[in-house]
A = this chain, B = another copy of it.
Amino acid sequence: MPDSRAAPAGPTGSAHPSDRAELIARYDAARALSERLAAPLSPADRVVQSMPDASPTKWHLAHVTWFFETVILEALAPGYTAFDPAYAYLFNSYYESLGERHPRPQRGLLTRPDDGEIAAYRAHVDAGMHALAETAPDSVWRRAAPLIVLGLHHEQQHQELLLMDILHAFSCNPLRPAYADLAGAPPPGDAAGAEGALPDAVGWIDHPGGLVEIGFDPERSADGFAFDNERPRHKVWLEPFRLADRPVTNLDWLAFIEDGGYETATLWLSDGWQTVCEQGWTAPLYWERRDGAWTRMTLRGPIPLDLAAPVSHVSYYEADAFARWAGARLPTEAEWEVMAARCRPSGNLLDTGALMPRPAHEPAGEAIEGQAGAPRRMFGDVWEWTASAYSPYPGFRPAAGAIGEYNGKFMCSQQVLRGGCCLTPADHVRTSYRNFFYPHQRWQVAGLRLAADEGISS
Protein backbone atom coordinates (compact mmCIF):
# COMPACT_ATOMS: atom_id res chain seq x y z
CA MET A 1 0.00 0.00 0.00
CA PRO A 2 1.23 3.52 -0.68
CA ASP A 3 2.28 5.32 2.45
CA SER A 4 -0.07 8.22 2.27
CA ARG A 5 0.36 11.84 1.67
CA ALA A 6 2.78 14.66 1.90
CA ALA A 7 1.91 17.59 4.16
CA PRO A 8 -1.22 19.13 2.71
CA ALA A 9 -1.54 22.79 1.86
CA GLY A 10 -4.93 22.96 3.57
CA PRO A 11 -8.04 24.69 2.34
CA THR A 12 -6.66 28.05 3.32
CA GLY A 13 -3.67 27.84 1.10
CA SER A 14 -1.07 30.50 1.40
CA ALA A 15 -3.25 33.21 2.95
CA HIS A 16 -1.16 35.02 5.55
CA PRO A 17 -2.37 38.60 5.97
CA SER A 18 0.52 40.25 7.70
CA ASP A 19 -1.57 42.95 9.18
CA ARG A 20 -3.56 41.78 12.19
CA ALA A 21 -5.64 44.93 12.24
CA GLU A 22 -6.71 44.49 8.68
CA LEU A 23 -7.78 40.92 9.19
CA ILE A 24 -9.68 41.65 12.36
CA ALA A 25 -11.44 44.48 10.53
CA ARG A 26 -12.50 42.02 7.82
CA TYR A 27 -13.64 39.73 10.58
CA ASP A 28 -15.76 42.43 12.18
CA ALA A 29 -17.31 43.37 8.86
CA ALA A 30 -18.27 39.80 8.01
CA ARG A 31 -19.69 39.20 11.45
CA ALA A 32 -21.72 42.38 11.27
CA LEU A 33 -23.19 41.43 7.93
CA SER A 34 -24.60 38.20 9.36
CA GLU A 35 -26.38 40.16 12.01
CA ARG A 36 -27.70 42.68 9.55
CA LEU A 37 -29.08 39.86 7.43
CA ALA A 38 -30.89 38.41 10.43
CA ALA A 39 -32.19 41.77 11.58
CA PRO A 40 -35.45 41.84 9.61
CA LEU A 41 -36.47 38.47 11.04
CA SER A 42 -38.61 37.85 14.10
CA PRO A 43 -37.66 35.34 16.79
CA ALA A 44 -40.16 32.90 15.28
CA ASP A 45 -38.70 33.38 11.80
CA ARG A 46 -35.26 32.67 13.18
CA VAL A 47 -36.09 29.28 14.65
CA VAL A 48 -38.03 27.71 11.81
CA GLN A 49 -36.58 24.92 9.65
CA SER A 50 -38.71 24.23 6.64
CA MET A 51 -36.95 21.09 5.43
CA PRO A 52 -33.96 18.95 6.41
CA ASP A 53 -31.76 20.65 3.80
CA ALA A 54 -32.36 24.05 5.38
CA SER A 55 -31.34 25.39 8.77
CA PRO A 56 -32.79 28.04 11.07
CA THR A 57 -31.35 31.55 10.98
CA LYS A 58 -30.46 31.22 14.61
CA TRP A 59 -28.60 28.02 13.98
CA HIS A 60 -26.58 29.65 11.19
CA LEU A 61 -25.62 32.51 13.51
CA ALA A 62 -24.49 30.09 16.17
CA HIS A 63 -22.81 27.53 13.91
CA VAL A 64 -20.46 29.99 12.23
CA THR A 65 -19.52 31.20 15.70
CA TRP A 66 -18.90 27.64 16.84
CA PHE A 67 -16.53 27.26 13.93
CA PHE A 68 -14.36 30.15 15.13
CA GLU A 69 -14.58 28.92 18.69
CA THR A 70 -13.69 25.32 17.95
CA VAL A 71 -11.21 25.58 15.12
CA ILE A 72 -9.36 28.66 16.33
CA LEU A 73 -9.98 29.70 19.93
CA GLU A 74 -10.04 26.29 21.54
CA ALA A 75 -7.02 25.20 19.52
CA LEU A 76 -4.90 28.33 19.69
CA ALA A 77 -6.05 30.66 22.50
CA PRO A 78 -4.86 29.12 25.76
CA GLY A 79 -6.96 31.24 28.09
CA TYR A 80 -10.18 30.93 26.17
CA THR A 81 -13.17 29.43 27.97
CA ALA A 82 -15.99 27.96 25.93
CA PHE A 83 -19.20 29.92 26.20
CA ASP A 84 -21.27 26.80 26.88
CA PRO A 85 -19.99 23.25 26.57
CA ALA A 86 -23.38 22.08 25.24
CA TYR A 87 -22.95 24.20 22.13
CA ALA A 88 -20.30 21.85 20.75
CA TYR A 89 -23.10 19.32 20.36
CA LEU A 90 -25.81 21.73 19.25
CA PHE A 91 -23.90 23.65 16.61
CA ASN A 92 -21.52 21.21 15.00
CA SER A 93 -22.80 20.75 11.47
CA TYR A 94 -21.12 17.67 10.07
CA TYR A 95 -17.59 17.34 11.45
CA GLU A 96 -17.26 13.71 12.46
CA SER A 97 -13.83 14.31 13.91
CA LEU A 98 -15.27 16.93 16.28
CA GLY A 99 -17.72 14.60 17.95
CA GLU A 100 -21.41 13.84 18.06
CA ARG A 101 -23.92 16.44 16.94
CA HIS A 102 -27.57 17.37 17.03
CA PRO A 103 -29.45 15.66 14.17
CA ARG A 104 -29.72 17.96 11.21
CA PRO A 105 -33.50 17.52 10.62
CA GLN A 106 -34.13 18.61 14.22
CA ARG A 107 -32.34 21.93 14.19
CA GLY A 108 -35.69 23.67 14.05
CA LEU A 109 -36.63 22.23 17.45
CA LEU A 110 -33.98 24.30 19.22
CA THR A 111 -36.19 27.07 20.55
CA ARG A 112 -33.54 27.45 23.21
CA PRO A 113 -30.91 28.88 23.47
CA ASP A 114 -32.85 32.02 22.61
CA ASP A 115 -31.75 34.88 20.39
CA GLY A 116 -30.26 36.75 23.31
CA GLU A 117 -28.09 33.84 24.26
CA ILE A 118 -26.95 33.43 20.68
CA ALA A 119 -26.07 37.12 20.57
CA ALA A 120 -24.11 36.73 23.80
CA TYR A 121 -22.36 33.72 22.31
CA ARG A 122 -21.38 35.73 19.26
CA ALA A 123 -20.10 38.57 21.43
CA HIS A 124 -18.14 36.17 23.60
CA VAL A 125 -16.39 34.63 20.62
CA ASP A 126 -15.83 38.00 19.01
CA ALA A 127 -14.13 39.16 22.18
CA GLY A 128 -12.01 36.04 22.15
CA MET A 129 -11.01 36.66 18.57
CA HIS A 130 -10.06 40.26 19.30
CA ALA A 131 -8.02 39.14 22.28
CA LEU A 132 -6.27 36.58 20.12
CA ALA A 133 -5.40 39.19 17.52
CA GLU A 134 -4.03 41.46 20.21
CA THR A 135 -2.07 38.99 22.25
CA ALA A 136 -1.12 35.96 20.21
CA PRO A 137 2.57 35.45 19.62
CA ASP A 138 3.52 35.61 15.96
CA SER A 139 3.99 31.89 15.77
CA VAL A 140 0.43 31.38 16.85
CA TRP A 141 -0.92 34.15 14.70
CA ARG A 142 0.66 32.60 11.64
CA ARG A 143 -1.36 29.50 12.28
CA ALA A 144 -4.49 31.43 13.21
CA ALA A 145 -4.61 33.86 10.33
CA PRO A 146 -5.38 31.41 7.51
CA LEU A 147 -7.97 29.73 9.69
CA ILE A 148 -9.62 33.10 10.32
CA VAL A 149 -9.76 33.72 6.59
CA LEU A 150 -11.33 30.29 6.18
CA GLY A 151 -13.82 31.12 8.94
CA LEU A 152 -14.77 34.34 7.18
CA HIS A 153 -15.47 32.54 3.95
CA HIS A 154 -17.38 29.94 5.90
CA GLU A 155 -19.52 32.64 7.46
CA GLN A 156 -20.14 34.14 4.03
CA GLN A 157 -21.37 30.79 2.76
CA HIS A 158 -23.81 30.69 5.63
CA GLN A 159 -24.96 34.22 4.86
CA GLU A 160 -26.12 32.97 1.50
CA LEU A 161 -27.65 29.86 3.09
CA LEU A 162 -29.46 31.99 5.64
CA LEU A 163 -31.19 33.92 2.86
CA MET A 164 -31.91 30.78 0.80
CA ASP A 165 -33.34 29.05 3.81
CA ILE A 166 -35.59 31.83 4.98
CA LEU A 167 -36.94 32.23 1.43
CA HIS A 168 -37.81 28.55 1.46
CA ALA A 169 -39.49 28.86 4.84
CA PHE A 170 -41.52 31.86 3.72
CA SER A 171 -42.51 30.06 0.52
CA CYS A 172 -44.13 27.37 2.69
CA ASN A 173 -46.31 29.91 4.44
CA PRO A 174 -49.60 30.52 2.63
CA LEU A 175 -49.26 34.19 3.55
CA ARG A 176 -46.07 34.35 1.44
CA PRO A 177 -44.38 36.89 3.67
CA ALA A 178 -41.60 39.15 2.41
CA TYR A 179 -38.19 39.11 3.99
CA ALA A 180 -37.85 42.77 3.05
CA ASP A 181 -39.65 45.22 0.88
CA LEU A 182 -37.21 47.88 -0.03
CA ALA A 183 -38.07 50.74 -2.27
CA GLY A 184 -35.75 51.66 -5.06
CA ALA A 185 -33.69 48.52 -5.22
CA PRO A 186 -34.15 44.90 -5.98
CA PRO A 187 -33.97 42.95 -2.75
CA PRO A 188 -31.53 40.13 -2.26
CA GLY A 189 -32.66 37.06 -4.03
CA ASP A 190 -34.27 38.91 -6.86
CA ALA A 191 -32.15 38.55 -9.90
CA ALA A 192 -31.96 41.83 -11.77
CA GLY A 193 -34.44 42.56 -14.49
CA ALA A 194 -36.61 45.60 -14.99
CA GLU A 195 -40.26 44.70 -14.90
CA GLY A 196 -41.71 44.07 -18.30
CA ALA A 197 -38.34 44.12 -20.05
CA LEU A 198 -37.52 41.41 -22.52
CA PRO A 199 -34.17 39.67 -22.44
CA ASP A 200 -31.29 40.51 -24.76
CA ALA A 201 -30.72 38.17 -27.65
CA VAL A 202 -28.29 35.45 -26.80
CA GLY A 203 -24.90 35.53 -28.42
CA TRP A 204 -22.30 32.79 -28.66
CA ILE A 205 -18.65 33.10 -27.84
CA ASP A 206 -16.24 30.62 -29.37
CA HIS A 207 -13.28 29.01 -27.75
CA PRO A 208 -10.72 27.10 -29.81
CA GLY A 209 -10.07 24.44 -27.15
CA GLY A 210 -6.65 22.94 -26.52
CA LEU A 211 -4.64 22.40 -23.40
CA VAL A 212 -5.76 24.89 -20.74
CA GLU A 213 -5.24 25.33 -17.04
CA ILE A 214 -7.95 25.60 -14.41
CA GLY A 215 -8.05 25.72 -10.66
CA PHE A 216 -6.95 28.37 -8.24
CA ASP A 217 -3.97 30.42 -9.33
CA PRO A 218 -2.37 32.11 -6.31
CA GLU A 219 -0.35 34.33 -8.62
CA ARG A 220 -3.42 36.07 -9.90
CA SER A 221 -5.26 36.24 -6.60
CA ALA A 222 -5.90 39.37 -4.57
CA ASP A 223 -5.81 37.76 -1.17
CA GLY A 224 -4.45 34.34 -1.86
CA PHE A 225 -7.49 32.51 -0.53
CA ALA A 226 -9.21 29.57 -2.10
CA PHE A 227 -10.88 26.45 -0.78
CA ASP A 228 -9.02 23.19 -0.99
CA ASN A 229 -11.39 21.90 -3.63
CA GLU A 230 -10.16 24.56 -6.11
CA ARG A 231 -6.62 23.16 -5.95
CA PRO A 232 -4.28 22.30 -7.40
CA ARG A 233 -4.23 24.28 -10.60
CA HIS A 234 -3.95 21.69 -13.36
CA LYS A 235 -4.09 21.11 -17.07
CA VAL A 236 -7.24 20.05 -18.94
CA TRP A 237 -7.65 19.31 -22.62
CA LEU A 238 -10.67 20.97 -24.22
CA GLU A 239 -12.25 20.40 -27.59
CA PRO A 240 -13.40 23.55 -29.38
CA PHE A 241 -16.70 24.81 -27.97
CA ARG A 242 -18.93 27.82 -27.68
CA LEU A 243 -20.64 29.35 -24.70
CA ALA A 244 -23.76 31.50 -24.54
CA ASP A 245 -22.97 35.04 -23.53
CA ARG A 246 -25.78 35.18 -20.98
CA PRO A 247 -27.77 32.78 -18.79
CA VAL A 248 -31.09 31.27 -19.84
CA THR A 249 -33.92 33.65 -18.92
CA ASN A 250 -37.40 33.25 -17.54
CA LEU A 251 -38.72 34.00 -21.01
CA ASP A 252 -36.67 31.14 -22.43
CA TRP A 253 -38.01 28.91 -19.69
CA LEU A 254 -41.61 29.82 -20.44
CA ALA A 255 -41.04 28.58 -23.97
CA PHE A 256 -39.76 25.28 -22.59
CA ILE A 257 -42.85 24.92 -20.39
CA GLU A 258 -45.19 25.83 -23.20
CA ASP A 259 -43.52 23.34 -25.51
CA GLY A 260 -44.34 20.57 -23.02
CA GLY A 261 -40.88 20.34 -21.53
CA TYR A 262 -42.15 19.01 -18.22
CA GLU A 263 -44.28 16.35 -19.94
CA THR A 264 -41.73 14.97 -22.40
CA ALA A 265 -39.89 12.03 -20.88
CA THR A 266 -37.30 11.75 -23.61
CA LEU A 267 -35.84 15.17 -22.75
CA TRP A 268 -34.87 14.04 -19.28
CA LEU A 269 -32.26 12.03 -17.51
CA SER A 270 -33.80 8.88 -16.12
CA ASP A 271 -33.46 10.01 -12.50
CA GLY A 272 -34.73 13.43 -13.50
CA TRP A 273 -37.88 12.11 -15.07
CA GLN A 274 -38.60 9.99 -12.02
CA THR A 275 -38.23 13.10 -9.87
CA VAL A 276 -40.51 15.14 -12.13
CA CYS A 277 -43.19 12.46 -11.84
CA GLU A 278 -42.87 11.89 -8.12
CA GLN A 279 -42.67 15.56 -7.19
CA GLY A 280 -45.15 16.77 -9.76
CA TRP A 281 -42.79 19.46 -11.04
CA THR A 282 -44.29 21.69 -13.73
CA ALA A 283 -42.18 24.82 -13.32
CA PRO A 284 -39.15 26.07 -11.37
CA LEU A 285 -39.42 26.19 -7.61
CA TYR A 286 -41.22 29.32 -6.42
CA TRP A 287 -43.14 29.81 -9.66
CA GLU A 288 -46.88 29.91 -9.11
CA ARG A 289 -49.67 30.30 -11.54
CA ARG A 290 -52.26 32.70 -10.07
CA ASP A 291 -55.30 33.84 -11.96
CA GLY A 292 -53.72 32.93 -15.24
CA ALA A 293 -50.43 34.74 -14.67
CA TRP A 294 -47.08 33.49 -13.46
CA THR A 295 -45.63 34.88 -10.27
CA ARG A 296 -42.43 34.07 -8.51
CA MET A 297 -41.88 33.94 -4.75
CA THR A 298 -38.89 36.05 -3.77
CA LEU A 299 -37.43 37.65 -0.66
CA ARG A 300 -39.64 40.62 -1.59
CA GLY A 301 -42.68 38.34 -1.56
CA PRO A 302 -44.48 37.18 -4.70
CA ILE A 303 -43.71 39.24 -7.82
CA PRO A 304 -44.88 38.98 -11.41
CA LEU A 305 -42.57 36.86 -13.51
CA ASP A 306 -39.71 39.02 -14.78
CA LEU A 307 -39.07 37.73 -18.27
CA ALA A 308 -35.63 39.24 -18.77
CA ALA A 309 -34.18 37.89 -15.54
CA PRO A 310 -32.13 34.71 -15.54
CA VAL A 311 -34.20 31.69 -14.61
CA SER A 312 -33.41 30.55 -11.08
CA HIS A 313 -34.31 27.80 -8.66
CA VAL A 314 -34.07 25.02 -11.20
CA SER A 315 -32.52 21.66 -10.44
CA TYR A 316 -29.73 20.06 -12.40
CA TYR A 317 -32.30 17.73 -13.89
CA GLU A 318 -34.26 20.69 -15.22
CA ALA A 319 -31.18 22.50 -16.46
CA ASP A 320 -30.03 19.40 -18.30
CA ALA A 321 -33.47 18.79 -19.84
CA PHE A 322 -33.72 22.40 -20.95
CA ALA A 323 -30.34 22.22 -22.65
CA ARG A 324 -31.33 19.04 -24.45
CA TRP A 325 -34.60 20.63 -25.54
CA ALA A 326 -32.63 23.62 -26.83
CA GLY A 327 -30.33 21.40 -28.88
CA ALA A 328 -27.39 22.42 -26.74
CA ARG A 329 -25.72 21.19 -23.58
CA LEU A 330 -24.38 22.46 -20.28
CA PRO A 331 -20.73 23.53 -20.18
CA THR A 332 -18.18 21.56 -18.20
CA GLU A 333 -16.65 23.43 -15.33
CA ALA A 334 -13.37 23.74 -17.23
CA GLU A 335 -15.17 25.32 -20.19
CA TRP A 336 -16.93 27.67 -17.83
CA GLU A 337 -13.76 28.64 -16.03
CA VAL A 338 -11.64 29.44 -19.05
CA MET A 339 -14.38 31.69 -20.34
CA ALA A 340 -14.95 33.31 -16.97
CA ALA A 341 -11.27 34.18 -16.84
CA ARG A 342 -12.05 36.71 -19.55
CA CYS A 343 -14.14 38.86 -17.24
CA ARG A 344 -13.96 40.23 -13.74
CA PRO A 345 -15.99 38.66 -10.93
CA SER A 346 -18.16 41.66 -10.23
CA GLY A 347 -21.82 41.92 -11.09
CA ASN A 348 -25.06 41.51 -9.30
CA LEU A 349 -23.56 40.02 -6.14
CA LEU A 350 -24.67 40.89 -2.64
CA ASP A 351 -23.24 44.26 -1.68
CA THR A 352 -21.81 43.57 1.70
CA GLY A 353 -22.12 47.18 2.65
CA ALA A 354 -25.66 47.92 1.62
CA LEU A 355 -27.23 44.49 1.92
CA MET A 356 -28.37 44.99 -1.63
CA PRO A 357 -27.22 43.57 -4.92
CA ARG A 358 -25.65 46.09 -7.21
CA PRO A 359 -28.10 47.89 -9.49
CA ALA A 360 -29.22 45.84 -12.41
CA HIS A 361 -27.88 48.21 -15.06
CA GLU A 362 -24.33 47.68 -13.95
CA PRO A 363 -22.47 45.36 -16.28
CA ALA A 364 -22.53 42.04 -14.53
CA GLY A 365 -18.91 41.10 -14.82
CA GLU A 366 -17.22 43.42 -17.22
CA ALA A 367 -14.74 42.18 -19.76
CA ILE A 368 -11.09 42.40 -18.88
CA GLU A 369 -9.42 44.86 -21.11
CA GLY A 370 -7.95 43.47 -24.26
CA GLN A 371 -9.90 40.23 -23.98
CA ALA A 372 -11.77 38.89 -26.93
CA GLY A 373 -15.50 38.24 -26.57
CA ALA A 374 -16.40 37.90 -22.93
CA PRO A 375 -19.62 36.39 -21.66
CA ARG A 376 -21.91 38.52 -19.54
CA ARG A 377 -23.47 38.04 -16.11
CA MET A 378 -21.18 35.20 -15.10
CA PHE A 379 -21.14 36.35 -11.50
CA GLY A 380 -23.91 37.59 -9.34
CA ASP A 381 -27.12 36.66 -11.00
CA VAL A 382 -27.44 32.93 -10.63
CA TRP A 383 -25.22 29.99 -9.89
CA GLU A 384 -24.81 28.12 -13.15
CA TRP A 385 -25.12 24.36 -13.27
CA THR A 386 -22.28 22.66 -15.12
CA ALA A 387 -22.10 19.24 -16.73
CA SER A 388 -19.29 18.32 -14.31
CA ALA A 389 -19.78 16.01 -11.40
CA TYR A 390 -18.16 17.29 -8.23
CA SER A 391 -14.92 15.30 -8.08
CA PRO A 392 -11.46 15.92 -6.70
CA TYR A 393 -9.00 17.66 -8.98
CA PRO A 394 -5.92 15.62 -9.90
CA GLY A 395 -3.57 15.84 -6.96
CA PHE A 396 -6.29 17.11 -4.59
CA ARG A 397 -5.34 16.90 -0.90
CA PRO A 398 -7.82 17.76 1.82
CA ALA A 399 -6.39 19.72 4.75
CA ALA A 400 -5.22 17.86 7.82
CA GLY A 401 -7.56 17.59 10.78
CA ALA A 402 -11.20 18.53 11.06
CA ILE A 403 -11.18 21.10 8.27
CA GLY A 404 -10.27 18.30 5.93
CA GLU A 405 -13.97 17.42 6.15
CA TYR A 406 -14.90 20.84 4.79
CA ASN A 407 -15.19 19.87 1.13
CA GLY A 408 -13.69 16.54 0.28
CA LYS A 409 -16.24 14.22 1.80
CA PHE A 410 -18.99 15.57 -0.42
CA MET A 411 -17.27 14.63 -3.66
CA CYS A 412 -19.87 12.15 -4.86
CA SER A 413 -23.25 12.37 -6.58
CA GLN A 414 -23.27 16.14 -6.72
CA GLN A 415 -22.82 18.56 -9.62
CA VAL A 416 -20.64 21.64 -9.77
CA LEU A 417 -22.15 25.09 -10.10
CA ARG A 418 -20.12 28.12 -10.99
CA GLY A 419 -20.39 31.88 -10.74
CA GLY A 420 -22.25 33.18 -7.74
CA CYS A 421 -25.67 34.66 -7.30
CA CYS A 422 -27.43 37.76 -6.05
CA LEU A 423 -27.33 36.30 -2.51
CA THR A 424 -23.59 35.66 -2.58
CA PRO A 425 -21.44 38.23 -0.77
CA ALA A 426 -19.55 40.20 -3.39
CA ASP A 427 -16.06 39.41 -2.12
CA HIS A 428 -16.75 35.73 -1.67
CA VAL A 429 -16.45 34.28 -5.14
CA ARG A 430 -13.78 33.99 -7.77
CA THR A 431 -13.24 32.42 -11.16
CA SER A 432 -12.09 29.10 -9.73
CA TYR A 433 -14.87 28.83 -7.10
CA ARG A 434 -16.68 25.47 -7.07
CA ASN A 435 -20.14 25.31 -5.57
CA PHE A 436 -21.98 21.97 -5.50
CA PHE A 437 -25.46 20.61 -4.96
CA TYR A 438 -27.33 17.37 -5.55
CA PRO A 439 -29.03 17.18 -8.93
CA HIS A 440 -32.54 17.32 -7.46
CA GLN A 441 -31.99 20.36 -5.24
CA ARG A 442 -33.40 23.70 -6.20
CA TRP A 443 -33.75 25.97 -3.25
CA GLN A 444 -30.42 27.56 -4.12
CA VAL A 445 -30.39 30.38 -6.70
CA ALA A 446 -29.38 28.13 -9.55
CA GLY A 447 -29.82 28.70 -13.27
CA LEU A 448 -27.83 27.74 -16.34
CA ARG A 449 -25.93 28.93 -19.37
CA LEU A 450 -25.87 26.94 -22.59
CA ALA A 451 -22.82 25.54 -24.30
CA ALA A 452 -22.36 23.70 -27.56
CA ASP A 453 -19.73 21.91 -29.54
CA GLU A 454 -18.03 23.91 -32.21
CA GLY A 455 -19.88 23.98 -35.45
CA ILE A 456 -23.28 23.98 -33.80
CA SER A 457 -25.00 27.00 -35.21
CA SER A 458 -27.18 29.14 -33.07
Instruction: Kindly specify which of A69-77, A105-113, A280-288, A344-352 makes contact with the partner chain.
Output: A105-113
Instruction: Kindly specify which of A126-134, A234-242, A426-434 makes contact with the partner chain.
Output: A234-242
Q: Which of A401-438 contact B (CB under 8 A)?
A: 405, 409-413, 415
Chain B residues within an 8 Å CB radius of A391: 387-389
B4, B94, B453: the one contacting A456 at CB < 8 Å is: B4
Taking the complex as formed, is A371 at the interface, i.e. its CB lies under 8 A from any CB of chain B?
A: no
Q: A1-B202, A48-B108 are in contact. Are A114 and B42 (CB under 8 A)?
A: yes
Chain B residues within an 8 Å CB radius of A409: 268-270, 273
A42 to chain B, nearest CB (A): 6
Q: A239-B395, A265-B96, A395-B453 are in contact. Are A2 and B458 (CB under 8 A)?
A: yes
A230 to chain B, nearest CB (A): 16
Chain B residues within an 8 Å CB radius of A5: 327, 456
- A383-402, CB under 8 A of B: which get 1 and which 0? 00001110110110000000
> A173 contacts B112, CB within 8 Å?
yes
Nearest neighbor of A90 in chain B, beta-carbon distance:
B174
Taking the complex as formed, is A86 at the interface, i.e. its CB lies under 8 A from any CB of chain B?
A: yes
Chain B residues within an 8 Å CB radius of A21: none
Chain A interface extent, by class? 35 or more
Chain B residues within an 8 Å CB radius of A39: none
Chain B residues within an 8 Å CB radius of A272: 412
A213 to chain B, nearest CB (A): 10
B48, B102, B234, B326: the one contacting A47 at CB < 8 Å is: B48
Q: In the bound complex, what is the Cα–Cα distance between A115 and B42 (angstroms)?
A: 10
> B269 contacts A411, CB within 8 Å?
yes
> A457 contacts B269, CB within 8 Å?
no
Nearest neighbor of A404 in chain B, beta-carbon distance:
B266
Taking the complex as formed, is A302 at the interface, i.e. its CB lies under 8 A from any CB of chain B?
A: no
B58, B177, B450: the one contacting A112 at CB < 8 Å is: B177
Taking the complex as formed, is A50 at the interface, i.e. its CB lies under 8 A from any CB of chain B?
A: yes
> B237 contacts A412, CB within 8 Å?
no
A20 to chain B, nearest CB (A): 33
Taking the complex as formed, is A452 at the interface, i.e. its CB lies under 8 A from any CB of chain B?
A: yes
Chain B residues within an 8 Å CB radius of A113: 175
Chain B residues within an 8 Å CB radius of A378: none
Q: In the bound complex, what is the Cα–Cα distance between A173 and B289 (angstroms)?
A: 39
Nearest neighbor of A387 in chain B, beta-carbon distance:
B391
Q: In the bound complex, what is the Cα–Cα distance between A395 and B409 (angstroms)?
A: 30
> A456 contacts B3, CB within 8 Å?
yes
Chain B residues within an 8 Å CB radius of A316: 412
Chain B residues within an 8 Å CB radius of A139: none
A310 to chain B, nearest CB (A): 16
> A111 contacts B453, CB within 8 Å?
no
Q: In the bound complex, what is the Cα–Cα distance between A108 and B452 (angstroms)?
A: 43
- A85-102, CB under 8 A of B: which get 1 and which 0? 010011000101100001
- A153-188, CB under 8 A of B: which get 1 and which 0? 000000000000000010011110100000000000
Q: In the bound complex, what is the Cα–Cα distance between A236 and B328 (angstroms)?
A: 22
- A350-387, CB under 8 A of B: which get 1 and which 0? 00000000000000000000000000000000000001
Nearest neighbor of A327 in chain B, beta-carbon distance:
B4
Q: In the bound complex, what is the Cα–Cα distance between A271 and B4 (angstroms)?
A: 23
Q: In the bound complex, what is the Cα–Cα distance between A177 and B326 (angstroms)?
A: 46
> B111 contacts A173, CB within 8 Å?
yes
Taking the complex as formed, is A296 at the interface, i.e. its CB lies under 8 A from any CB of chain B?
A: no
Taking the complex as formed, is A217 at the interface, i.e. its CB lies under 8 A from any CB of chain B?
A: no
Task: Write 29 A-B pairs (CB below 8 A) sorted by A numbering.
Answer: A1-B458, A2-B327, A2-B452, A2-B456, A2-B457, A3-B327, A3-B456, A42-B114, A43-B43, A44-B44, A44-B46, A44-B47, A44-B114, A86-B175, A89-B174, A90-B175, A94-B270, A96-B266, A109-B172, A112-B177, A211-B211, A235-B239, A239-B394, A269-B410, A270-B409, A271-B413, A272-B412, A273-B409, A389-B391
Q: What would 15 more interface pairs be, CB under 8 Å, given A1-B326, A48-B111, A271-B410?
A: A1-B458, A2-B450, A3-B456, A6-B455, A47-B48, A48-B108, A86-B175, A106-B172, A108-B108, A234-B237, A266-B405, A269-B411, A270-B409, A271-B412, A413-B413
